[in-house]
Amino acid sequence: MEEKEDKGFVFKDSRKINLDSPEEDTEAAGAETAQKAEGGEQRRVREEFEEASQKNREEGQAAFPEVTLSTFVFSLSSSALVHLGEIPEPESQVVRVDLPMAKQVIDTLGMLQQKTQGNLDQDEDRLLKSVLYDLRMRYIQKSGR
C-alpha cells in the first residue's frame, strides 16, 4: 500500500496590514492619511470660497464687516436679544419672546467663553464677560425669577 503525503491547507492573508506592528499604529496611519486628504480638500474649498468672495466684492455685492471675535459675539448677542423680545426680528419687525432659544444662544456664548479662556486679549475677554452678564440678567428678568 502506497502512502499519500498530506500537504494540508495553505492560508494566504490578503489583508493590507502589517502583522508585526500594533493595530493602533495601523489605525493611526490610516487616520493620518485620511486627515491629509481631507486637509487638501479643505484647503481647495477654502481657496474657492475666497475666490468667490473676492468676485462678489468686485461685483459690488454688499460687504459685511470682517469676522472677528467681537463681531461674532455681537451677532450672537443680537440673536439672544431678539429671542428675549428686547428687539424685533429683523425681517418681520415682530417682537417675540422665546426663552429656550435665548438660553441656547446665551449658553453658546458661555461655552465660547470657557473654550477660549486664557486665549483672549483683555478687550475681547471684557466684551464677552459684559455681554454674558447683561444677557443673563435680562434672561432672569424675562423668566420672572
List, for residues 34-76, the tens digit of each pLDDT value: 555 567 788 888 888 788 777 776 776 666 778 899 999 999 9
CA-wise closest residue to 106 among 77, 144, 74, 143 = 77
Convert the pLDDT of each residue in 71-109 to its tens digit. 999 999 999 999 999 999 988 999 999 999 999 999 999
- The answer to whether the beta carbons of residues 55 and 87 sit under 8 Å apart is no
Ramachandran class of 112: left when φ > 0, alpha when ψ lies in -120 to 50, beta otherwise: alpha
Q: Is the pTM for the entire model greater than 0.85?
A: no
Residues in the chain: 145
Residue 113: all three cell numbers together:
467663553
